[in-house]
C-alpha cells in the first residue's frame, strides 16, 4: 500500500504551505489519572522546549488518586504566548470515558490521535484522525505485562513526534533526563517512543496543518513549577522554621523545600540549620510560625484556601501583637472544599483582611516562577521589617504547572532582619518600649527571648496593650496603638514590590491585572490591538497595599478594566476601597472563574463587549 511506503514528513508537503500552522497550536492529552501519563507529557513538553519553541504545560487533574479523567495541555507558541489557549488543536484521546466529548469539543480542522479500539473516526468529518493500536504496539517493547499500562502512554509521544515533526532525539534526551536514576525504565520507555514513532511514520498520511519547527527562543532557559521556585526562594531567604499541613495544591512547595534543605542546609558539623514540622492542622502550623517568628526565626507555612480560613484567628494575633511570619497561599477554587485541583485568585479579600476586628495584611502577588523565587525572599524581609504576617498569593496554575524561565539570579541584598535590639543596644538605651513609634514610621523595636539585658523582656499579648506592652483597656492606649498600626501599613506601601507598567502606549484605556492573569493579558493586549485596533495600557499589580503608582495609573486613564480570576471582583473591590471616590466610576471588572486558567480570548471578548461604540472606534 502506498501509505506504508511514504513517511508522514514526506507527505507533509501535501499540506499546502499557506495553511501550515507552525509552532502555534495546543496539544491536549486525555488520559486516566494514575496511569503514568505525567511522565509521557513531561517528555513531550521538554521535547518541544528543547527545539527552542516557547511552550507552556497545564495539568487539568481530578482530586483523586487513580482512575478519573485527566487532561494535559501543551501550548507551543512562536509568539511566546504561554497562557492557556482556549481552543484545542491536537488531541491525544487515551481515555474511553471522555474520548467522545474530547473529540466533539474540537474545532473544525483539528487533529486527533486515539487508541484504536475507541473507534472515533466516524464521529466527525472535519478533523484528522490517527488511530493507533497501542495495546498491539506495547507488547513487543514491554515484555512485562504489569508495566504495559504505564509504558503504553510513552508510545503516543513517538506518534506525536512523527506527526508534528518533533525530532525523536529530543524526546530521547528528555526521557534520559526524566528517568536519569532509572536506567531500565529509561530503556523501556525509549523503545516505546520509537515504536510509536515508527508506526506513525509507516502508517499515516499527514492530514492536519500542525508542525513543530526548530526555533532558538529557549537558550539557557530552565523549566520549573512555581512551588519549587517558591521553595528555592524560601531556602535562599534563609528560612529556619517550616511548618505545614498537607493540602492541594500547596503540599509540593514544602515537599520540594524539604528536599532542597536536606541537600543544601546541613552544616559542616552535620547538623540541620532548619526545622520542618508537619503540624496537626493549619491552626497549629501558623501558631508555630508565629511562635518561631517571635523568638527570632525566619518561619513560614504553606497552605491553600481552607487552611487560610483556619488560620484567621492566629493571623489577627500576628497583626496585633506584631509577629513576623510568611504564609504562602497556593490558591485553589473555593468556597469550602470547592474544586481542589482547579485554579483561582479567590483569596485576595479574605487574606487582605483575615481575622476579626480591624486587620489588614501585606499581600505579594507573583505572576511567574521568577517572582515565586524573588517574592519568597521579599516576603521574609517584609515580615521581619514590618513585624507582621505576610502572604504570598500564588495559585494552582502557577504552583503546580511547569513554566519556562530564565535561570534565577542570586540575591544581591543581604537579609533584612528588621528592628531588633540586642544586648549592646539595650545597654546603650537603658531599656525600650515594645510598641513605641520611635522612628515615626509606625514600626516599633523588638527584642528576642533570650536577650540577657534585664530591660529586654516584654510581655506579648493579643489583648489591649500600651506602648510598654502592658495590659491596657484604656481608650487612648487602644486608639494610639491602632493608629500606629495603620501608619505602619502606610509605610509598607513604599516597601512592597512596586507595580509594573507592562504596556505603556499613552492610551486612555487601562488594564489592571495581577498574578497568573498576566500571561493572558499580554496576549489579549495584542489581540485588542491587532483585531480591534484598540490600544491599551497595562499595569500589573505586585502587592497590597497599593503604592502611589497604582493611584496615578488610575488617574491617568478614563476607563480601567480590572481583570482577575474570581467571581466577586475581589481586587476591584480592594481598589475601590483605596482610590479617591471620584476615580471609582472609572473602574470596570473582567472576571474569569470556571477553574481553568484564564485565557486571552475570554479577556479580549469581555473587554470588547464592555466598550461603548465610541470607545470601540478608538
Partner 1 sequence: MMSTTTTPTPAPAPKTNHIGLSVLDYRGGKTTLCAGCGHNAITERIIDAMYEMGVQPENLAKLSGIGCSSKTPAYFVNRAHGFNSVHGRMPSVATGVALANHKLMVLGISGDGDTASIGIGQFVHLMRRNLPIIYLIEDNGVYGLTKGQFSATADLGSRLKTGVINDLPAIDTCALAIQLGATFVARSFSGDKKQLLTLLKAAIAHRGTVMIDIISPCTTFNDHEGSTKSYKYSKDHDEPVQELGFVPVFENIEVDYDPGTTATVRMHDGSALRLTKLNRDYDATSKVAALHLLAESHAKGEMLTGVFYVNTTTPSFIEQLNLGGESLAKLPEAVVRPSKQALDAIMEELR
Residue 411 CB, nearest approach to partner 1 (Å): 7
Beta-carbon contacts of residue 53 (< 8 Å; ≥ 6 apart):
23, 76, 77, 78, 212, 213, 214, 215, 217, 218
Q: Single out the segment in contact with partner 1 by CB under 8 A; choices: 52-60, 108-116, 136-144, 408-416.
A: 408-416
The CA-atom distances, in angstroms, between 525 and each of 43, 449, 566 are 32, 53, 20
Taking the CB of residue 7, how many other CB atoms lie within 10 A of it? Answer: 16
Rounded CA-CA distance 106/86 in Å is 11
Query: According to CB under 8 A, which residues from 462 to 491 bind partner 1?
Result: 462-463, 471
Residue 18 DSSP one-character state: G
Query: According to CB under 8 A, which residues from 76 to 105 bind partner 1?
Result: none
Residue 353 CB, nearest approach to partner 1 (Å): 18
243 counts as binding partner 1 under rule CB under 8 A: yes
Residue 280 CB, nearest approach to partner 1 (Å): 4
Q: Single out the segment in contact with partner 1 by CB under 8 A; choices: 63-71, 97-105, 142-150, 292-300.
A: 292-300
Residues in contact with partner 1, counted by CB under 8 A, come to a total of: 73
Strands 362-364 and 543-544: antiparallel
C-alpha cell, 78? 512562536
Query: According to CB under 8 A, which residues from 253 to 282 bind partner 1?
Result: 260, 264-265, 267, 269-277, 279-281
449 counts as binding partner 1 under rule CB under 8 A: yes
Residue 477 CB, nearest approach to partner 1 (Å): 16
Q: Where are the alpha helices (DSSP H) in 204-333?
A: 226-236, 251-264, 282-294, 305-310, 312-321
451 counts as binding partner 1 under rule CB under 8 A: yes
Rounded CA-CA distance 445/455 in Å is 13
**3 state DSSP class of 368:** coil
Among 83, 106, 151, 288, binds partner 1 (CB under 8 A): 288
411 counts as binding partner 1 under rule CB under 8 A: yes
- Backbone dihedral region of 238: left (phi > 0), alpha (psi from -120 to 50 degrees) or beta? left
452 counts as binding partner 1 under rule CB under 8 A: yes
568 counts as binding partner 1 under rule CB under 8 A: no
448 counts as binding partner 1 under rule CB under 8 A: yes
Residue 138 DSSP one-character state: H
The CA-atom distances, in angstroms, between 37 and each of 29, 46, 71, 399, 428 are 9, 14, 10, 20, 65
Query: According to CB under 8 A, which residues from 309 to 338 bind partner 1?
Result: 313-314, 317
N-term to C-term CA, the chain = 59
C-alpha cell, 538? 497595562
Residue 439 CB, nearest approach to partner 1 (Å): 23
421 counts as binding partner 1 under rule CB under 8 A: no
**Nearest 10 degrees: CA dihedral of 296, 262, 398, 69?**
-130
Q: Which residue has the cell 487601562?
A: 510
Question: Which one, of 149, 146, 102, lies nearest residue 127 by Cα?
Answer: 102
Strands 500-503 and 90-93: unpaired
C-alpha cell, 460? 506579648
Residue 174 CB, nearest approach to partner 1 (Å): 12
Among 75, 453, 484, 557, binds partner 1 (CB under 8 A): 453
Q: Of 187 and 471, which has the nearer Cβ to partner 1?
A: 471
Binding characters for partner 1, 368-407, by CB under 8 A (x = yes): ---------------------------------------x
Residue 531 CB, nearest approach to partner 1 (Å): 36
126 counts as binding partner 1 under rule CB under 8 A: no
Q: Of 260 and 478, which has the nearer Cβ to partner 1?
A: 260
Q: Of 446 and 542, which has the nearer Cβ to partner 1?
A: 446
Q: Of 207 and 460, which has the nearer Cβ to partner 1?
A: 460
Amino acid at each position: 500500500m502506498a501509505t506504508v511506503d511514504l513517511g508522514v514528513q514526506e507527505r507533509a508537503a501535501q499540506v499546502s504551505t499557506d495553511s501550515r500552522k507552525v509552532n502555534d497550536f495546543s496539544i491536549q492529552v486525555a488520559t486516566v489519572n494514575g496511569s503514568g501519563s505525567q511522565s509521557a507529557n513531561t517528555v513531550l513538553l521538554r521535547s518541544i522546549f528543547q527545539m527552542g519553541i516557547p511552550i507552556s504545560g497545564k495539568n487539568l487533574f481530578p482530586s483523586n488518586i487513580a482512575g478519573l479523567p485527566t487532561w494535559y495541555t501543551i501550548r507551543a507558541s512562536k509568539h511566546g504566548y504561554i497562557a492557556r489557549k482556549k481552543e484545542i488543536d491536537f488531541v491525544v484521546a487515551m481515555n474511553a470515558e471522555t474520548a467522545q466529548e474530547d473529540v466533539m469539543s474540537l474545532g473544525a480542522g483539528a487533529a486527533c490521535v486515539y487508541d484504536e479500539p475507541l473507534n472515533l473516526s466516524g464521529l466527525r468529518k472535519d478533523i484528522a484522525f490517527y488511530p493507533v493500536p497501542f495495546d498491539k504496539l506495547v507488547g513487543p517493547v514491554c515484555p512485562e505485562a504489569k508495566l504495559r499500562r504505564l509504558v503504553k502512554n510513552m508510545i503516543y509521544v513517538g506518534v506525536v513526534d512523527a506527526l508534528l515533526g518533533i525530532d525523536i532525539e529530543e524526546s530521547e534526551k528528555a526521557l534520559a533526563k526524566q528517568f536519569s536514576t532509572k536506567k531500565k525504565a529509561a530503556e523501556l520507555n525509549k523503545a516505546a517512543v520509537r515504536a510509536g514513532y515508527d508506526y506513525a511514520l509507516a502508517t499515516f498520511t499527514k492530514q492536519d496543518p500542525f508542525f513543530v519547527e526548530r526555533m532558538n527562543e529557549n537558550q539557557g532557559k530552565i523549566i520549573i513549577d512555581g512551588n519549587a521556585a517558591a521553595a528555592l526562594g524560601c531556602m535562599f531567604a534563609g528560612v529556619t522554621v517550616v511548618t505545614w499541613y498537607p493540602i492541594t495544591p500547596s503540599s509540593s512547595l514544602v515537599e520540594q523545600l524539604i528536599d532542597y534543605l536536606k541537600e543544601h542546609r546541613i552544616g559542616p558539623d552535620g547538623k540541620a540549620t532548619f526545622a520542618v514540622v508537619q503540624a496537626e492542622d493549619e491552626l497549629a502550623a501558623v501558631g508555630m510560625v508565629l511562635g518561631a517568628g517571635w523568638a527570632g526565626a525566619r518561619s513560614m507555612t504553606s497552605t491553600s484556601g481552607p487552611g487560610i480560613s483556619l488560620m484567621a484567628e492566629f493571623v489577627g494575633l500576628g497583626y496585633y501583637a506584631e509577629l513576623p511570619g510568611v504564609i504562602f497561599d497556593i490558591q485553589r477554587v473555593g468556597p469550602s472544599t470547592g474544586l481542589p485541583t482547579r485554579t483561582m485568585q479567590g483569596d485576595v479579600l479574605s487574606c487582605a483582611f483575615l481575622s476579626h476586628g480591624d486587620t489588614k495584611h501585606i499581600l505579594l502577588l507573583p505572576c511567574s516562577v521568577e517572582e515565586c523565587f524573588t517574592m519568597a525572599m521579599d516576603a521574609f524581609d517584609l515580615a521581619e521589617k514590618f513585624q507582621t504576617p505576610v502572604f504570598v498569593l500564588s495559585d494552582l496554575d502557577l504552583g503546580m504547572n511547569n513554566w519556562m524561565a530564565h535561570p534565577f539570579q542570586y540575591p544581591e541584598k543581604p537579609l533584612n532582619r528588621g528592628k531588633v535590639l540586642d544586648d549592646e543596644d539595650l545597654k546603650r538605651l537603658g531599656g525600650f518600649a515594645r510598641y513605641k513609634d520611635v522612628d515615626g514610621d509606625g514600626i516599633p523595636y523588638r527584642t528576642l527571648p533570650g536577650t540577657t539585658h534585664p530591660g529586654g523582656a516584654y510581655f506579648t499579648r493579643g489583648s489591649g496593650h500600651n506602648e510598654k506592652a502592658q495590659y491596657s483597656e484604656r481608650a487612648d492606649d487602644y486608639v494610639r496603638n491602632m493608629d500606629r498600626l495603620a501608619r505602619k501599613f502606610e509605610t509598607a506601601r513604599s516597601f512592597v514590590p512596586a507595580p509594573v507598567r507592562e504596556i505603556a502606549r499613552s492610551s486612555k484605556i487601562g488594564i489592571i491585572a495581577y498574578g497568573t492573569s498576566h500571561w493572558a493579558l499580554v496576549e489579549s493586549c495584542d489581540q485588542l490591538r491587532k483585531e480591534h485596533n484598540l490600544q491599551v495600557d497595562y499595569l500589573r499589580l505586585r502587592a497590597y497595599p497599593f503604592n502611589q503608582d497604582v493611584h496615578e495609573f488610575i488617574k491617568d486613564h478614563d476607563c480601567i478594566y480590572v481583570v482577575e480570576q474570581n467571581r466577586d471582583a475581589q481586587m476591584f473591590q480592594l481598589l475601590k476601597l483605596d482610590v479617591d471616590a471620584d476615580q471609582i466610576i472609572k473602574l470596570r471588572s473582567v472576571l474569569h472563574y470556571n477553574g481553568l486558567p484564564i485565557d486571552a480570548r475570554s479577556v479580549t471578548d469581555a473587554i470588547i463587549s464592555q466598550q461603548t461604540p465610541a470607545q470601540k472606534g478608538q
